[in-house]
Chains A and B, each alone.
Chain A
Amino acid sequence: EVQLVESGGGLVQPGRSMKLSCAASGFTFNNYDMAWVCQAPKKGLEWVATISYDGSSTYYRDSVKGRFTISRDNAKSTLYLQMDSLRSEDTATYYCARSKDYGYNYFDYWGQGVMVTVSS
Protein backbone atom coordinates (compact mmCIF):
# COMPACT_ATOMS: atom_id res chain seq x y z
CA GLU A 1 0.00 0.00 0.00
CA VAL A 2 1.33 3.40 -0.99
CA GLN A 3 1.76 5.72 1.97
CA LEU A 4 2.98 9.30 2.17
CA VAL A 5 3.39 10.76 5.64
CA GLU A 6 4.29 14.42 6.05
CA SER A 7 5.84 15.99 9.11
CA GLY A 8 7.42 19.25 10.22
CA GLY A 9 4.58 21.76 10.07
CA GLY A 10 3.49 24.22 12.71
CA LEU A 11 3.57 27.90 13.60
CA VAL A 12 6.48 30.02 12.37
CA GLN A 13 7.16 33.74 12.35
CA PRO A 14 7.37 35.71 9.11
CA GLY A 15 10.88 35.70 7.69
CA ARG A 16 11.84 32.48 9.43
CA SER A 17 12.40 29.00 7.99
CA MET A 18 10.73 25.63 8.22
CA LYS A 19 11.50 22.23 6.70
CA LEU A 20 8.83 19.71 5.78
CA SER A 21 9.47 16.01 5.31
CA CYS A 22 7.45 13.32 3.57
CA ALA A 23 8.23 9.68 4.27
CA ALA A 24 7.18 7.40 1.42
CA SER A 25 6.52 3.67 1.52
CA GLY A 26 4.77 0.98 -0.48
CA PHE A 27 6.37 1.79 -3.82
CA THR A 28 9.79 2.21 -5.41
CA PHE A 29 10.41 5.83 -4.44
CA ASN A 30 13.28 6.46 -6.83
CA ASN A 31 11.10 5.60 -9.83
CA TYR A 32 8.78 8.57 -9.41
CA ASP A 33 8.84 12.33 -9.63
CA MET A 34 7.43 13.85 -6.44
CA ALA A 35 5.68 17.12 -5.70
CA TRP A 36 4.39 19.47 -3.04
CA VAL A 37 0.91 20.95 -3.45
CA CYS A 38 -0.54 23.48 -1.04
CA GLN A 39 -4.00 24.66 -0.06
CA ALA A 40 -4.54 27.89 1.86
CA PRO A 41 -7.42 27.85 4.36
CA LYS A 42 -10.76 27.66 2.54
CA LYS A 43 -8.98 28.05 -0.80
CA GLY A 44 -8.13 25.87 -3.79
CA LEU A 45 -5.16 23.70 -4.65
CA GLU A 46 -1.87 25.17 -5.81
CA TRP A 47 1.10 23.28 -7.14
CA VAL A 48 4.28 24.36 -5.32
CA ALA A 49 7.22 22.34 -6.64
CA THR A 50 8.24 19.11 -8.35
CA ILE A 51 11.47 17.13 -8.25
CA SER A 52 12.46 14.50 -10.76
CA TYR A 53 12.86 10.85 -9.76
CA ASP A 54 16.64 11.16 -9.44
CA GLY A 55 16.72 14.67 -7.99
CA SER A 56 18.47 16.12 -11.02
CA SER A 57 15.67 18.52 -11.97
CA THR A 58 13.49 20.78 -9.86
CA TYR A 59 10.62 23.09 -10.77
CA TYR A 60 8.87 25.79 -8.70
CA ARG A 61 5.91 28.11 -8.89
CA ASP A 62 7.02 31.70 -9.30
CA SER A 63 5.92 32.85 -5.84
CA VAL A 64 8.31 30.45 -4.08
CA LYS A 65 11.31 30.54 -6.41
CA GLY A 66 14.44 31.51 -4.51
CA ARG A 67 12.73 30.89 -1.14
CA PHE A 68 11.72 27.20 -1.22
CA THR A 69 13.91 24.23 -2.06
CA ILE A 70 12.56 20.79 -2.88
CA SER A 71 14.90 17.85 -2.40
CA ARG A 72 14.84 14.11 -1.86
CA ASP A 73 16.85 11.33 -0.30
CA ASN A 74 16.16 8.20 -2.31
CA ALA A 75 18.08 6.02 0.14
CA LYS A 76 15.62 7.08 2.84
CA SER A 77 12.55 7.30 0.55
CA THR A 78 11.97 10.79 1.85
CA LEU A 79 10.94 14.04 0.18
CA TYR A 80 11.71 17.45 1.66
CA LEU A 81 10.62 21.04 1.30
CA GLN A 82 12.89 23.67 2.81
CA MET A 83 10.94 26.89 3.17
CA ASP A 84 12.92 30.09 3.85
CA SER A 85 11.87 33.72 4.18
CA LEU A 86 8.34 32.63 4.96
CA ARG A 87 5.47 35.02 4.38
CA SER A 88 1.94 35.14 5.76
CA GLU A 89 0.64 34.16 2.32
CA ASP A 90 2.54 30.84 2.61
CA THR A 91 0.09 29.79 5.31
CA ALA A 92 -1.49 26.60 4.00
CA THR A 93 -1.78 22.87 4.28
CA TYR A 94 1.09 21.32 2.35
CA TYR A 95 0.53 17.97 0.69
CA CYS A 96 3.22 15.64 -0.52
CA ALA A 97 2.08 13.94 -3.74
CA ARG A 98 3.38 11.30 -6.10
CA SER A 99 3.49 12.36 -9.71
CA LYS A 100 2.22 9.74 -12.10
CA ASP A 101 4.78 8.43 -14.56
CA TYR A 102 4.64 8.11 -18.35
CA GLY A 103 4.64 11.90 -18.55
CA TYR A 104 0.98 12.18 -17.61
CA ASN A 105 1.85 14.45 -14.69
CA TYR A 106 -1.10 14.00 -12.40
CA PHE A 107 -0.96 13.25 -8.69
CA ASP A 108 -2.08 9.72 -7.98
CA TYR A 109 -1.28 9.49 -4.29
CA TRP A 110 -1.40 12.23 -1.65
CA GLY A 111 -0.27 12.49 1.93
CA GLN A 112 -2.64 13.65 4.66
CA GLY A 113 -1.08 17.08 4.61
CA VAL A 114 0.71 19.21 7.17
CA MET A 115 -0.41 22.67 8.24
CA VAL A 116 2.04 25.57 8.10
CA THR A 117 0.97 28.81 9.76
CA VAL A 118 3.12 31.90 9.22
CA SER A 119 2.23 34.50 11.81
CA SER A 120 3.84 36.73 14.37
Chain B
Amino acid sequence: NIVLTQSPASLAVILGQKATISCTASESVNKFGINLMHWYQQKPGQLPKILIYNEFSRAPGIPARFSGDEAELNFTLTIEPVEADDVATYYCQQGLTFPYTFGAGTKLELK
Protein backbone atom coordinates (compact mmCIF):
# COMPACT_ATOMS: atom_id res chain seq x y z
CA ASN B 1 0.00 0.00 0.00
CA ILE B 2 1.14 3.56 -0.66
CA VAL B 3 1.60 5.32 2.66
CA LEU B 4 1.11 9.09 2.78
CA THR B 5 2.86 10.83 5.66
CA GLN B 6 1.39 14.25 6.27
CA SER B 7 2.98 16.99 8.36
CA PRO B 8 2.54 18.88 10.50
CA ALA B 9 -0.48 17.42 12.31
CA SER B 10 -1.54 20.94 13.22
CA LEU B 11 -0.52 24.38 12.13
CA ALA B 12 -1.26 27.84 13.53
CA VAL B 13 -0.83 30.70 11.07
CA ILE B 14 -1.28 34.47 11.30
CA LEU B 15 -4.00 35.89 9.05
CA GLY B 16 -2.46 36.96 5.76
CA GLN B 17 0.64 34.79 6.14
CA LYS B 18 1.58 31.56 4.38
CA ALA B 19 0.66 28.00 5.37
CA THR B 20 2.62 25.05 4.03
CA ILE B 21 1.45 21.46 4.41
CA SER B 22 3.57 18.50 3.39
CA CYS B 23 2.58 15.02 2.22
CA THR B 24 5.31 12.48 1.55
CA ALA B 25 4.45 9.38 -0.45
CA SER B 26 6.16 6.04 0.26
CA GLU B 27 6.48 5.43 -3.50
CA SER B 28 5.77 7.10 -6.80
CA VAL B 29 2.18 8.12 -7.57
CA ASN B 30 3.02 9.00 -11.14
CA LYS B 31 1.02 7.61 -14.06
CA PHE B 32 1.94 8.62 -17.61
CA GLY B 33 3.69 11.74 -16.35
CA ILE B 34 0.89 12.85 -14.04
CA ASN B 35 1.22 12.71 -10.27
CA LEU B 36 -2.12 11.40 -9.03
CA MET B 37 -1.90 13.30 -5.75
CA HIS B 38 -4.93 15.24 -4.61
CA TRP B 39 -5.76 17.63 -1.76
CA TYR B 40 -9.04 18.08 0.12
CA GLN B 41 -10.32 20.63 2.60
CA GLN B 42 -12.75 19.64 5.33
CA LYS B 43 -14.18 22.45 7.43
CA PRO B 44 -15.54 21.59 10.90
CA GLY B 45 -18.83 19.72 10.62
CA GLN B 46 -18.75 19.71 6.83
CA LEU B 47 -18.01 17.19 4.10
CA PRO B 48 -14.64 17.11 2.33
CA LYS B 49 -14.12 19.26 -0.74
CA ILE B 50 -11.56 18.76 -3.50
CA LEU B 51 -9.05 21.62 -3.68
CA ILE B 52 -6.16 20.46 -5.84
CA TYR B 53 -6.01 17.45 -8.15
CA ASN B 54 -3.14 15.88 -10.04
CA GLU B 55 -0.53 17.60 -7.88
CA PHE B 56 -1.16 21.22 -8.85
CA SER B 57 -4.45 21.69 -10.74
CA ARG B 58 -7.03 23.74 -8.86
CA ALA B 59 -10.57 22.38 -8.79
CA PRO B 60 -13.31 24.66 -10.19
CA GLY B 61 -13.98 27.65 -7.97
CA ILE B 62 -10.84 27.24 -5.86
CA PRO B 63 -8.95 30.54 -5.53
CA ALA B 64 -5.36 31.00 -6.62
CA ARG B 65 -4.34 31.33 -2.97
CA PHE B 66 -4.23 27.54 -2.97
CA SER B 67 -1.38 25.89 -4.85
CA GLY B 68 0.23 22.46 -5.09
CA ASP B 69 3.78 21.40 -5.82
CA GLU B 70 6.02 18.34 -5.70
CA ALA B 71 9.69 17.55 -5.18
CA GLU B 72 10.80 13.92 -5.17
CA LEU B 73 7.74 12.29 -3.59
CA ASN B 74 7.24 15.22 -1.24
CA PHE B 75 4.02 17.02 -2.13
CA THR B 76 3.16 20.44 -0.77
CA LEU B 77 -0.07 22.37 -0.38
CA THR B 78 0.50 26.10 0.08
CA ILE B 79 -2.10 28.63 1.14
CA GLU B 80 -1.06 32.24 0.76
CA PRO B 81 -2.40 34.53 2.03
CA VAL B 82 -4.32 32.59 4.66
CA GLU B 83 -7.86 33.83 5.27
CA ALA B 84 -10.19 33.17 8.20
CA ASP B 85 -12.33 30.94 5.99
CA ASP B 86 -9.37 28.56 5.52
CA VAL B 87 -9.66 27.14 9.05
CA ALA B 88 -10.11 23.44 8.30
CA THR B 89 -8.38 20.09 8.16
CA TYR B 90 -6.52 19.32 4.95
CA TYR B 91 -5.91 15.84 3.56
CA CYS B 92 -3.79 14.49 0.73
CA GLN B 93 -4.93 11.40 -1.21
CA GLN B 94 -3.27 9.24 -3.83
CA GLY B 95 -5.28 7.95 -6.77
CA LEU B 96 -2.65 5.72 -8.37
CA THR B 97 -3.44 2.31 -6.94
CA PHE B 98 -5.92 0.54 -4.73
CA PRO B 99 -6.27 0.86 -1.84
CA TYR B 100 -6.58 4.59 -2.32
CA THR B 101 -4.98 6.16 0.72
CA PHE B 102 -5.27 9.46 2.54
CA GLY B 103 -2.81 11.30 4.71
CA ALA B 104 -3.70 11.63 8.39
CA GLY B 105 -4.69 15.26 7.97
CA THR B 106 -3.37 18.68 8.97
CA LYS B 107 -5.51 20.95 11.10
CA LEU B 108 -5.05 24.61 10.19
CA GLU B 109 -5.86 27.22 12.83
CA LEU B 110 -5.34 30.93 13.11
CA LYS B 111 -2.72 32.26 15.47
Contact = CB atoms under 8 A, between A and B. Distances in A.
Interface in A1-53: 35, 37, 44-47, 50
B34 to A, nearest CB: 8
Interface string A70-112: 0000000000000000000000000100001001111110111
Contacts of A59: 98-99
B22 interface: no
B98 A45 contact: no
Given A44-B104, A45-B91, A47-B99, A108 B59 contact: yes
Interface in B29-78: 31, 34, 36, 38, 40, 42, 47-50, 53-54, 59
A44 B102 contact: yes
Interface string B77-111: 00000000000010101011011111111000000
Which 5 residue pairs of A and B lie closest in terms of their CB atoms, listed nearest first? A105-B95, A106-B38, A47-B100, A59-B98, A110-B47
Interface of B: 31, 34, 36, 38, 40, 42, 47-50, 53-54, 59, 89, 91, 93, 95-96, 98-105
Interface of A: 35, 37, 44-47, 50, 59-62, 95, 100, 103-108, 110-113
Given A46-B102, A104-B53, A106-B36, 16 more contacts: A44-B89, A44-B104, A44-B105, A45-B40, A45-B48, A45-B93, A47-B99, A47-B101, A60-B99, A62-B99, A104-B38, A106-B54, A108-B50, A110-B47, A110-B49, A112-B47
